[in-house]
Amino acid sequence: MKKLLFVIVCLFVISGTAFAQRGNNRTPEENAKRMTEQMKDSLGLTPAQIAPVDSINLVFAKAQAKLMEKANGDFSSIREDMQKLSALRIEAYEKVLTDEQIEAYKKMMARRMRNRGNQ
């Protein structure tokens, strides 16, 4: 009985780990599309804004992927670079989005950062 319980616990741990890591296997292109869709829904992007926002998201998703690869698990080593990248992304969005959309985007990202800390 103890062996069976041990095997069940091990299976839960393994499956939980696999499930948690599955989200990290998205390509920069998939991440960019996902972000564009979220922004489309959350910010009410107009049809004219979707293509430029998607292009911005792709450029920055690729840059972020390179930084993550460079970090090799040590995310504190790229924190400053990620902050610079985030500021540049907002500058790019400011050329496409309205002031209200920019403020909504900043609030959305602040919520995301708060939620990340609660995990």
**The token pair that represents 17 in the structure block:** 């780990």
Q: Which helix (H) or strand (E) holds 44?
A: none
Confidence of residue 20 (pLDDT cuts 50, 70, 90): very low
Quick check: 32 pLDDT over 50?
yes
- Tens of pLDDT along 84-116? 999 999 999 999 999 999 999 999 999 988 887
* Diameter over CA atoms, the chain: 64
**The token pair that represents 117 in the structure block:** 């800390």
| Residues 100, 106, 107, 113, Cα dihedral to 10° | 170
Name the residue with higher pLDDT: 117 or 79.
79
Distance CA 78, CA 84 (A): 10
Name the residue with higher pLDDT: 8 or 55.
55
